[in-house]
Every structure is written in structure tokens, then in C-alpha cells.
Structure 1
Amino acid sequence: MTVTTRTVSYPADGLTMVSHLALPAGDDRRPAVLVGPEGTGLNDFQRRRADALAELGYVALAFDIHGGRWFDDPQEMLARCLPLLEDPERLRDIGYAALDVLLAEPRTDPGRVAVVGYGTGGAVGLELGRAGVDLRAIAAVNGLITGRPGEAANIRCPVWAGVGSEDPIQPPAQRDAFAAEMQAADVDWRLVVYGGALHAFHHPPVEDASQVLLPGVGYHARHAARAWHDVVGLLAECVPLEPAPV
């Protein structure tokens, strides 16, 4: 399927975000997906994910969270991300701005929107859910951040979460807290633990050999493919490309 892409710039969090919009062939309205990046920022990995979703038939926006920056220094990344992760309103504002861009695209069906987020991008998706945004599905890979008490009850769609069993950044206690939050709010939730995988197991090694990774971060090719298969399956279930027959 022919995919058309373009760069979209817009303000959010005091920055100019530079996001990647991918459109499937045709001119009809299609279900749509926000694709959020991990803490290092938007790069070609998420852009390719958006393109792959467009090839399937979704409108997809891989959204920026750092004003066009991609961090190769983990300390700089943490200095930017930790305050974000501690401030649900800032995460939501970044998500709202990206959602506005996606909904402004004429090809987007506003009643069939999902979020697929990695790391910090997953936290953005979950905060949109906790804010009560009308979404059809939320997938968070390595983004298991618990929200403010009671707000998970606002989530109106299924939530899928994936994490590596050996991830020290999202340890068992954090997974348990996330699961307890979802269960207490009666959310339709799933948590998949990928055995032997570290944090950011989904992300292939970057071409920039100068990048210094945080401890506990590493690629796991088999589980990366499995997680993508699970995410696409969630979208097929909750945001089908063809509406169910009446």
C-alpha cells in the first residue's frame, strides 16, 4: 500500500514539536493511531512504526515530546524526562497537542483513535486515558507509570501493557502497582511480561555508536517482534480497519 508522509510542526510544552504524519492510500476516513516515543525522543524507529501502521490502513502520527531533540546523553534525557513523568498535566498537554493534530487531519475518523506509546510516550497515552479522552485502545510498552488516585476510573478503553521481566527501570513492584491501579478502576487491562528482556527491549540499536545507554537497557529481537505483533493484534481487536457490520 502506498503511504504518504509529511512533517507537522506545532506548539506544546513551550516547545515546537516536530512530528511525523503517515497516511494510507486513498481519501476515505480511517481509524487513527498516535505513536509516542521513549524518553530519548522521536527518531526513525517510531517514524517507521507510523509508516507500518499506515501500510496497514491507519492514519498514524508519530509525535514529538522534546521539540525536535533526540537525546544521546542519558543524563540530559533524564533531566528532561523525570520532571515530565512527575507532572501528569504536562504529559497530558503534550498528548492533547498531538491528538489535536491527528484529529485535524481530514483522513482521521475521530471516533476510532488509539495510542501506542513506548516509555515516556506510553505514559502520555495512559495519562490521556486517565483524563477521560475518548480512545479505543491504549498500548504502553515500558511506560507503566501509575497515575493519581482514582483517575484510572476515567479510562474508557482496553489497556495493553508490555514490559521485560529483567527491566530494572520498571521492576516488579512498579508492575504490581500498575496492575493494582488498573484492577481497582475496573479497566479492561492486560500486562505481558516478556521473559529475559530488559528496558527498551523493543528498540533496535541506534546507528550513533556514541550513544551511552542507561544500565538495564537492551534490545531483544524476538520479544520486540512479539510485542509489535501483540500491539497490532490489540488494534485489530479494538480499532478494526473495517467497522463491524450492523
Structure 2
Amino acid sequence: MTTTVTTRTVTYPADGLTMTGHLALPTGTGRRPAVLIGPEGMGPSDIERRRAEALAGLGYVALAFDLHGGRYLDDPEEMLARCLPLLAAPDRMRDIGHAALDVLLAEPRTDPGRVAAIGYGTGGAIALELGRAGVDLRAIGTVNGLTTGRPGEAARIRCPVWAGVGSEDPIMSAAQRDAYAAEMRAGDVDWRLVTYGGALHAFHHPPVDHATPPGVGHHPRHARRAWRDILDLLAECLPVTGAG
């Protein structure tokens, strides 16, 4: 299915900032399933905005949400200085995710009973925290965001969870992947973990014209595969059916 897409910028408060999101809507007037899209630690870029538009083209309402009050942090030190404390604060991550989710649910085109959350890096960690908070989601997908939560909270996840990671990712190390898998098993979650051989951290993200931390690199073939895997997850758990 391919539909005409319309977009608009939305602003909303979260984390003491005025966040700027990118909302993409499919053609029509009826309610549609919806997807929340979280960005890498730098913040939303054209990557996430294009993902939202691609999903709208498939019939979803999609919102690429913000992390840094409308800023894109292309200085790795500044990005880490903001994201590392955030990743260590589950309730703060949940607040950012809930604020964006409220915007998505307030959109009249959104079917509130059919919502998924996907994300990359920090945005993927936020998607997972929404699941651990017990939010009613149909699916969670995370690339490079294999954080572990507080003991016992994975049992609150109500939907299938898909995760993708590069085998050579020094940030999402083998030990981190093992800890994540143990948490999912302990919570009796319907989970999948795909390890993309030879890929580094942020392998889905095309090359950028600013400095990147060590261990970060684009892998075009696996980037395409990870996107297809996310689309398969949505097709399984959040199918677009009927006219809009």
C-alpha cells in the first residue's frame, strides 16, 4: 500500500524543554494504526523524519519525537553529556516517551488501541522503557538500544519486542546483549534479538559530516535489513487494514 503523505511540525513540553516532533499522516480521514519513532542520541534528523514519512506512506500515523528541545547534537561530547545521564534515569526516559506518546494519541487520525514504538539508540531505549512502564503497545522495536531495566519491570511489557544490534558494537557489547536477553527471559517477554554480523554501533545511520565516537559506522546492507525487519514486525503486530 502506498498513500499520499502530509506532514507537520508539532511542539510539546518534555524534560524541561520545548520538543519539536515530525508528524506524518497518510491520506484519508479515518483512524489508522500509529507508530512512535525515537531518534539516536544526537536527536532527530532527516533519517527519522524520512522513516515517519515512509510509515505514513504505508498507512500509519507516525511521529518522530525529539530528545533535546529541537537541537541536533553533532558534538559527540555534548551528546554523551546529555544522553548518558538520561539513559541512567528510567523515569526521565519514560517522561520523554510519554510526552511524545500523548501528542501521537491526541492526533485524531490515531487509533489509540493500535500503537507501536520503535527507536534507535537512546530513542530505542525510551521505547523499551515505555514497555517496562506497562504502556499498551502492540509492538516495540529497538536498534542499538538494548538497555536493561529495573528488576522485574520487563514483566510489564505487553507486546512482542524486536531488537537489532551489530556484532561489533562496542557500546552494546556481548555482555550487554546477554543481560538484555536474560531480562527478557525473566519477564516472559515475546522477544527477538537479531545480531548483524560485522556491524558497528549506529550501523543503520548513513555517514555524517561531523565527528563520531569510536565504534560507530554505517553498514548499508544491514541497515536495509534492519528496516525490513522492523517493517515485518509492524506488519505482524500492527497491520494496516481497510480504507483510511
Normalising by structure 2, we get a TM-score of 0.98
Confirm whether residue 133 of structure 1 aligns to residue 135 of structure 2.
yes
Confirm whether residue 236 of structure 1 aligns to residue 228 of structure 2.
no
Shift of residue 171, structure 1, vs aligned partner: 0.4
Shift of residue 204, structure 1, vs aligned partner: 0.7
1:214 alignment partner AA:
P
Counterparts of 1:189-228 in structure 2, within 5 Å, are: 189-206=191-208, 209=209, 211-228=210-227
1:219 alignment partner AA:
H
Deviation by residue 1:181-206 (Cα, 9 ceiling, x = unmatched) = 00111000000000000000000112
SS at match of 1:67: coil
Determine the structure 1 residue equivalent to 2:145: 143
d(CA) in 2 for partners of 1:112 and 1:70?
30
1:132 alignment partner AA:
G
Determine the structure 2 residue equivalent to 1:119: 121
SS at match of 2:233: helix
Confirm whether residue 54 of structure 1 aligns to residue 56 of structure 2.
yes
Shift of residue 242, structure 1, vs aligned partner: 1.6
RMSD, aligned α-carbons:
0.7
1:29 alignment partner AA:
R
2:109 to 107, 113, 117: 107
d(CA) in 2 for partners of 1:78 and 1:204?
20
- Name structure 2 gaps, 5 residues minimum: none
d(CA) in 2 for partners of 1:125 and 1:45?
17
Confirm whether residue 172 of structure 1 aligns to residue 205 of structure 2.
no
d(CA) in 2 for partners of 1:90 and 1:65?
11
Runs of 4+ in 1 over 3 A off after TM superposition: none
Determine the structure 2 residue equivalent to 1:17: 19
Normalising by structure 1, we get a TM-score of 0.97
2:227 alignment partner AA:
W
Give the number of aligned pairs.
Answer: 240
d(CA) in 2 for partners of 1:102 and 1:144?
24
Deviation by residue 1:36-93 (Cα, 9 ceiling, x = unmatched) = 0010100110000000000000000000011011011100000000010000000000
SS at match of 1:22: strand
Deviation by residue 1:79-123 (Cα, 9 ceiling, x = unmatched) = 000010000000000000000000000000000000110000000
1:230 alignment partner AA:
D
d(CA) in 1 for partners of 2:155 and 2:84?
25
d(CA) in 2 for partners of 1:57 and 1:201?
27
SS at match of 2:85: helix
d(CA) in 2 for partners of 1:32 and 1:194?
27
SS at match of 1:33: strand
2:218 alignment partner AA:
Y
- Name structure 1 gaps, 5 residues minimum: none
SS at match of 2:182: helix
d(CA) in 2 for partners of 1:72 and 1:100?
28
Shift of residue 223, structure 1, vs aligned partner: 0.1
Determine the structure 2 residue equivalent to 1:65: 67
d(CA) in 2 for partners of 1:229 and 1:4?
23
d(CA) in 2 for partners of 1:193 and 1:111?
31
SS at match of 2:117: strand
2:55 alignment partner AA:
L
